[in-house]
């Protein structure tokens, strides 16, 4: 079974968290999405219209992360997954969100979400 996916990763500063200091200062996140779709046509045609545009994916992630203050990383992950499953021709999405620079002992804390398009 063939499995194709496009992986896009970006660092993003946004308001996220429940602590008072998290509501005052943007935090650094590393957001990685793996978008699963059939890339065989793009491989044959060498055409951008047969795949996903990485820049557009990165821009969508940026836009979602700036919409509002998220209390929970889980909410941000769900919003990212929901948007891509709804608007793009993908079957599955993995979203990994890392909160960076938490303390001297903890360099990052990661959350991973895997969502599949529901079929009826």
Q: Which residues are catalytic?
A: 99
Question: What contacts 90, CB < 8 A, 6 or more positions away?
Answer: 35, 36, 37, 52, 84, 117
Residue 112 is classified by DSSP as E
Ramachandran class of 101: left when φ > 0, alpha when ψ lies in -120 to 50, beta otherwise: left
Q: Closest Cα to residue 8, out of 101, 93, 114, 102?
A: 93
Q: Contact, 96 vs 108, CB < 8 A?
A: no
């Amino acid at each position: 079974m063939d499995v194709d996916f496009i992986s896009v990763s970006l660092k993003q500063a946004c308001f996220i968290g429940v602590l008072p200091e998290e509501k005052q200062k943007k935090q650094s996140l590393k957001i990685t999405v793996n978008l699963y779709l059939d890339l065989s046509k793009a491989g044959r045609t060498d055409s951008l219209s047969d795949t996903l545009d990485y820049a557009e994916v990165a821009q969508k992630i940026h836009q979602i992360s700036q919409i509002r203050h998220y209390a929970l990383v889980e909410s941000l992950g769900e919003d990212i997954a929901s948007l891509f499953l709804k608007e793009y021709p993908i079957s599955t999405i993995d979203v990994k969100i890392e909160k960076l620079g938490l303390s001297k002992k903890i360099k990052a804390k990661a959350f991973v979400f895997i969502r599949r398009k529901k079929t009826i």
